[in-house]
Structure 1
């Protein structure tokens, strides 16, 4: 008789787990921050606005948010002037080098993106994962042939799976 009770309890447990899997979970829309600078090189703006989005009120301190944005802006400030100089040099020599002179700026831009992604990963591990937030550098289409990089803050990253996609949400733009 005790064996039947055990089986019955396991079936009840399985039904509860299955019913929880079918429940629709609410996942808040991500906050998207566009570049606020006046120079954009290959879609990467030279700075992001430090204004605190009201959507994040109660989730993270405004000082922590501003510190994180300032770190990203410092990385951009350090790397983008060099990228712009190489871009101008590459454009001037483009005809003579059949476009090969643009490779250095493409590689430098890729390195800048990687350093920002590593910085955001460090910020996530240091603070934001504990708060249920996740920062990411993401590419967004502006027009048919124009793409820019934006900072995306996902809220409650664990509720929607390990890697929620930006395209499945209606994003809040800053």
Structure 2
């Protein structure tokens, strides 16, 4: 599969598409459906083998989607080890987006992995894609926006950045 990395909008985005297929589609140019299929194909051979449905509206396990990145012929490298920082010290999603300023020459493709651990709510994770000072996310409905223009609702702000993956070819 010939993939050219770069953050792009997702044409004909379907509301309700899960975060992982949204973020990976935004950086690869594939459709969320193709990403969900790649995750389903990669899951049985991953570090946490499982049978996974290729439904882009369902959540995906991190072990399966990083295996799918490998399957697509891409490489990933985990950057800053935020997972080793206590969750109370991690940046909330809104704070990160409002304060992240990439250097003009920083064109890295990043998948941001955030986690929500709030009393009274089920733990959840969220993934979104950024390049430079732009984002594509489920909250942008597959559109590419400047980070400063991304409207992050309060429920998304409960997510704190846990891991940052740089994606390369």
Shared topology, TM-score over 0.5?
A: no
Structure with greater proportional helix content: 1
TM-score (norm 2): 0.31
Q: Looking at CA atoms only, which structure, 1 or 2, has the larger radius of gyration?
A: 1
